[in-house]
Amino acid sequence: MHLKSKQEGSFTVEFALIGVMLSFVWAFSGDIIIKMSTKGKLDRLSYSLVNILKERTQLYEAGLSITQEDALVLSNIATNSLSRTVGAFDSNKLAVVVEARTYDPQAHTDRFGPAACQPNGLERLDNLSVLTTWDRQAPLYRVTICYETDNWIGSLLGQEYQIVSSSSILIGR
């Protein structure tokens, strides 16, 4: 027979354990929601920026290679766009990498951006380029955007899950 005096307090202990577990699930869910929302914004923005990079050859009669100025313009567009769409946006947490692979024997792959956000080399994706009707390799353009988010779940687990990134590649004209 169980005495009532020995069962007192079990509800409090169980409630505390369930409360801790629910708090952990809530933090995990919140962290995932924030990162997925940021990822979606970065996906749309990187695709828009790589389209601007690709179409500048047609619209502005620019060369196939990109310059530091081109990369700076794209970085400014990214900063301005994210400052309007991300709450509490911090431009110090943003990195933009702009790459072009032109296949001109005199050209090289241009990479602009901080070391913290460096995707694998565009040279590894040469199989994506096609041969144009003028028998030349079409250039490849890639824009990678990285943004540092809050690390809710990582701090609980002792891990780093802060950087959210998106990369878009297009074949040039």
Alpha-carbon gap, residue 63 to 106, rounded angstroms:
13
Q: Assess whether pLDDT exceeds 90 at residue 46.
A: yes
Q: Give me the pLDDT at residue 106, please.
A: 56
Amino acid at 54: K
Q: Assess whether pLDDT exceeds 60 at residue 41.
A: yes
Provide, rounded to the nearest whole percent, the portion of the chain with pLDDT above 70: 76
